[in-house]
């Protein structure tokens, strides 16, 4: 059973489009995250939700909006996609900010 | 200067070699130290988790933390081609809600 699953795995789209990435965890964790990994493998946190409440909101353009309908789900919606948004986006979850479990990533390519 | 520095490599070693991967950090408040392994096109997976200074061993892997020098290491004994991956160090302070990651070291173990 997949612990943290995110879809889609690949997303290729044109500049200016709006897209969403979905994430679900079945570990019973209380905290979920979105990370962005650039081409040099550097992982940067974007958002974190604890029990559906936004607790970390790093300096990210307003075009990025997370939504947590319940503790097991955290989605990421991106408006007006730009070339610089191309990266791998990882969802992760943890219990009490302890060990992070990552999904397999969504490779976003903006053309 | 970044809070966590990690040599990006790439590092190539022959099968059976002992591998040493290292990170230095500047924040003396860091107390929890982790190593993640990331295979190509996969999400990072937690390999080692340590608290404060000292050593921790798990099979062929040993994590070392020297808080006085602000230096952590991961040793891999009898390295295997299946160990070929990017290794990311990560750490946080006791009160922090998020991890600070190193930029990762790419390791290739040659058969």
For residue A95, give every residue at least 6 positions away whose Cβ sits within 8 Å of its Cβ, in sequence order, or none.
Answer: A27, A28, A29, A30, A31
From the number of C-beta atoms within 10 Å of its C-beta (0-12, 13-18, 19+), residue A66 rates as buried
CA distance B104 to chain A (A): 7
Q: How far off is chain A from B45, nearest CA to CA, in Å? A: 7
Answer whether residue B53 shows pLDDT above 90: no
Structure-derived torsion over alpha carbons of residues B60, B21, A104, A27, reported in degrees to the nearest 10: 60
B58-107 pLDDT per residue, tens: 999 999 999 999 999 999 999 999 999 999 999 998 877 788 999 999 99
What are A1-41's pLDDT values in tens digits? 669 999 999 999 999 999 999 999 999 999 999 999 988 88
Chain B hits for A48, Cβ within 8 Å: 97-98
Lookup result for tokens 């490779």: A107
CA–CA separation, B8 and B23 (whole Å): 10
- Give B57's strand partners: B62
pLDDT tens track for B56-72: 999 999 999 999 999 99
List the single residue in B86, B96, B97 with the smallest CB-CB distance to A41: B86
Identify the pLDDT of residue A22.
Answer: 97
| Site of tokens 């190539």 | B12
Cα separation, B67 vs B71, in Å, equals 6
| A103–B98 C-beta distance less than 8 A | no
Residues from A in contact with B at Cβ < 8 Å: 4, 33, 40-43, 45, 48, 55-56, 90, 92, 97, 99-105, 107
Q: What is the DSSP string of chain B?
A: --SEEE----EEEETT--EEEEEEE--TTEEEEEEEEE-TTS--EEEEEEESSEEEEETTEEEEEETTTTEEEEEESS--GGG-EEEEEEEEESS-SS-EE---EEEEEE-
Residue A98 has a pLDDT of 77
């Amino acid at each position: 059973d997949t612990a943290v699953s995110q879809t889609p795995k690949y997303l290729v789209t044109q500049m200016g489009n709006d897209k969403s990435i979905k994430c679900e965890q079945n570990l019973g964790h209380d905290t979920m995250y979105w990370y962005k990994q650039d081409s040099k493998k550097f992982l940067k946190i974007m958002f974190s939700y604890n029990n559906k409440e936004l607790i970390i909101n790093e300096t990210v353009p307003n075009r990025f909006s997370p939504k947590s309908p319940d503790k097991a789900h955290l989605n990421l919606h991106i408006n007006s996609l730009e070339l610089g948004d191309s990266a791998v986006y990882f969802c992760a979850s943890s219990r009490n900010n302890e060990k992070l479990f990552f999904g397999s990533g969504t490779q976003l390519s903006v053309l | 200067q970044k809070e966590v520095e990690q040599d990006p490599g790439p590092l190539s070693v022959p099968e059976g070699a002992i591998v040493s991967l290292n990170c230095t950090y500047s924040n003396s408040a860091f107390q929890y130290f982790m190593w993640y392994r990331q295979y190509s096109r996969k999400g990072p997976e937690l390999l080692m988790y340590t608290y404060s200074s000292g050593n921790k061993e798990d099979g062929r892997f040993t994590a070392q933390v020297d808080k006085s020098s602000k230096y952590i290491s991961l040793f891999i004994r009898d390295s295997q081609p299946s160990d070929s991956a990017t290794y990311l160090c990560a750490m946080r302070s006791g009160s922090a809600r998020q991890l600070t990651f190193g930029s990762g070291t790419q390791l290739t173990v040659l058969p």
